[in-house]
Homo-oligomer: A and B are copies of this chain.
Amino acid sequence: MEESTALRETPLFRGLSPAQIEKMIGISRELTFGPNQLIMAEGETGDAMYVLRHGTVEIVKSLVLSGLDEVPPEQSKTFTRLSAENGEAVFGEIALLEEAKRTATVSTVTECRVNEIRKGDFLKLAEKDFELGYRVLLNLAGIVSSRLRRADEDIIKLTTVLSIVLKD
């Protein structure tokens, strides 16, 4: 019960009944990692998403094509920390939609406990409980859509800077 209360706070499970959250827990695998361990690597193909239940992870994302060695690594990557406490503790969730390459590397900072949910298991469950599938996807699509909006804004800013720089 304590488990499902914590999971209900994750944005991905908003609107699910306690019974539906239990079903999501039922298809998930609980994993424990020590500090400084790799959970997923950028460029790998992933078919699972993760809910961070305990601990802090660091998300590292390349900003510059690799092999460009004149750019120091700390200027060519973004670093974000995610803690189980902040209620937005979901990562790798695009893997529920398509088997795409991971766009970030995620490693543990502290000891972490995560629930791993695989795409195939989620789709099988959703085909049996369409309401659950609908509500999870509504939340997931909202998360992806707001990220797309932010990415579009970043592209406009970058192209603007580039236009100014190239004029000089």
Contacts and interface: CB of A to CB of B under 8 A. Distances in A.
Interface stretch (A27-35, A63-71, A110-118): A63-71
B141 A103 contact: no
Instruction: Name A's interface SS.
Output: helix
A7 to B, nearest CB: 20
A133 interface: yes
B76 A145 contact: no
Contact of A141 (B97, B100, B130): B97
Contacts of A163: 64, 68, 70-71, 75-76
A164 interface: yes
B134 A164 contact: no
A137 B15 CA distance: 16
A123 to B, nearest CB: 8
B158 A158 contact: yes
A157 interface: yes
A144 interface: yes
Contact of A155 (B70, B137, B158): B158
A27 B167 CA distance: 50
A27 B62 CA distance: 43
Contact of A160 (B68, B94, B137, B151): B68
Which of A70, A75, A159 has most B Cβ within 10 Å? A159
A149 B97 CA distance: 12
A162 B158 CA distance: 8
Nearest to A100: B149
Nearest first, the 6 A-B pairs at minimum CB distance are A151-B151, A130-B130, A137-B137, A158-B158, A133-B134, A141-B141
